[in-house]
Structure 1
């Protein structure tokens, strides 16, 4: 299916959904189809419909000749440009003991999806507009074993693809370089009790909707919540990523969040990765520290600091130690509008950041204004 056809299909889907919401009750009254109306309403009682529009203006004080930042940034890459980032329409039904089937479908459009799917071996455009699409079933095992099959975002990292769910507008070095974006496969999650949850995955690999090798990649995760204010998650991913090799890529991802006060939250993320390239072992690791101070209902301040060691240049294309500091001011309107003003300073131990037309600098400063609108029926 061509990209234009897929975009058209998404548009028709959105219009059909909107039209159905308006027309179904009237149709049921005209036809006397009370059962049809009840089923329709029951579907939307159980299903959450949500979405958002995300855009930004970014200015890079290095004024790069390419008008874009380098591999240290993920999505907010454009310089001195008003840019659309991501638009999403999402439907989700969470399985329960009373209704064990479920699903999630995230329809996405924007440059973010080009970046997320750029390395997909099936082609960057085939599944580009499907952010997530999976079926769910809650098995009658203990407290409920949930099994999902399809395409879903990765379990690794503190930050996520959707800006609205992060504390800062730009993504961290760890999110950009140390971990995958998404997977295609099967996952099982189980809450042992109110303090411990476990999960296991079998997937095609890193950012693969279609398998390129016979062997699979495995993910294991344990989440503990010893007290209400503290949550810690350890995730491991391992498996071969290149055909005709037995070498595995390993990543250990540790995330912890702590609510120090009702207004101040802290978080930390550590990643360690290892692989082989041309028979030689390559490593990367980094740590990120976060804080968010919710001053009141409409304003929050969120600083972030990171250190990332790409020892062999495997993830950033240059062997270096890179750091960044970000400060984000968030302004929230009660009707779903969100604005973020952000300053970020990146610095490396080598000249890594493009400056002007063809020079390189060991540092980079950027300023970003992000604007979002989000809605949800629940």
Structure 2
């Protein structure tokens, strides 16, 4: 009996040890799953656009800015973002399909056949609580607006955004200096050459942040240009009340002896949980003939005012928009096919995010 009793004690002890070991392993796996999460997000957008003071036909009269320039019913893009967030490391794979996506990655493909669908592709390492290293292709840190229509209040984009950089490929280090201050330093390929470096030229980037206000600097030689590009940019905004927000953007760019400069204000008022109204007022000017405004005349300028509504229905945002572009030189035509300094247009966009 004593032998049997001791044997049962040994068996029960082994079973208890295995149970505790399994529980420990399961707990570790559970903790690992908690710190590593795969998420899928993205958006789909489409729009209707019409000129009010110019023809709506194959002449394709439109503002000289990016993305929302096609006549009639038109497609934006489908955007699918897969991200994996670990305790120490992770990645982002941001894929785009459609006209807006193609325009956003205009400098690709250079090498691969899939370059025209990769908006962002990078991995990161949280070296410490205050330092993160990121390598790969990431959207630019300059400017108030971004490629995704979900993050922009206005659907059409500004001149400053359209002619500033869209994306970079390189290595950047983000430093959380304090609760209020942040610093980013980067070394990157030539602007918008996102797949590889074709000529050994590199560009440096810097961003200094303080309580949601950012000073951005870009400097370096670019592929196909003799002189380096220098751009300094301020992006920020202020909550003037619970309902009223004012965004601000100003930039100066010098690229191979030509360039541009400008400033924009983005007042936005929230009337309810489902409706907000925002205005973008932008002044943009060329140094020399940069080619952004399309007049063919040196030192041209444009003043553009865009009024946009945001009406939310669950995850769908409906954006009706009126826009007036007024240039210093004749950059457009009117309904009589005469040269004109102004263009009025209307669009309505459906933007669904998930």
TM-score normalised to structure 2 length = 0.85
Q: Deviations over 1:195-227 (max 9, x none)?
A: 0000011111111022232120010000001xx
Q: Deviations over 1:145-195 (max 9, x none)?
A: 111111110000000001110111110111112x11101111111111110
Q: Confirm or deny: 8 A CA contact 2:265 2:282 kept in the other structure.
A: yes
User: Do structure 1's residue 105 and structure 2's residue 93 form an aligned pair?
Assistant: yes
The offset of 1:361, in angstroms, is 1.5
| Equivalent position of 1:232 in the other structure | 213
The offset of 1:46, in angstroms, is 1.9
| Equivalent position of 1:198 in the other structure | 183
| Equivalent position of 1:135 in the other structure | 123
| Equivalent position of 1:145 in the other structure | 131
Q: 1:180 aligns with which of 154, 165, 173?
A: 165
In structure 2, the CA distance between the partners of 1:330 and 1:269, relative to structure 1 (3 Å rule), is: same
What is the CA RMSD across the aligned residues, in angstroms? 2.3
Q: Confirm or deny: 8 A CA contact 2:160 2:284 kept in the other structure.
A: yes
Q: Deviations over 1:202-260 (max 9, x none)?
A: 111111022232120010000001xxxxx210000011113483x11111011121011
The offset of 1:119, in angstroms, is 3.0
User: Do structure 1's residue 252 and structure 2's residue 244 form an aligned pair?
Assistant: no
Secondary structure at 2:172 match in 1? strand
* Structure 2 unaligned blocks of 5 or more: 1-24
* Structure 1 unaligned blocks of 5 or more: 1-33, 226-230
| Equivalent position of 1:346 in the other structure | 325
Distance 2:186 2:291 in 1: 24
Q: 1:241 aligns with which of 202, 219, 222?
A: 222
Q: Deviations over 1:12-40 (max 9, x none)?
A: xxxxxxxxxxxxxxxxxxxxxx97xx679
In structure 2, the CA distance between the partners of 1:223 and 1:283, relative to structure 1 (3 Å rule), is: same
Secondary structure at 2:161 match in 1? helix
Q: Confirm or deny: 8 A CA contact 2:306 2:323 kept in the other structure.
A: yes
Distance 2:101 2:158 in 1: 18
Secondary structure at 1:351 match in 2? coil
TM-score normalised to structure 1 length = 0.80
Question: Greater Rg, structure 1 or structure 2?
Answer: 2
| Equivalent position of 1:208 in the other structure | 193
In structure 2, the CA distance between the partners of 1:203 and 1:291, relative to structure 1 (3 Å rule), is: same
Q: 2:315 aligns with which of 336, 339, 344?
A: 336
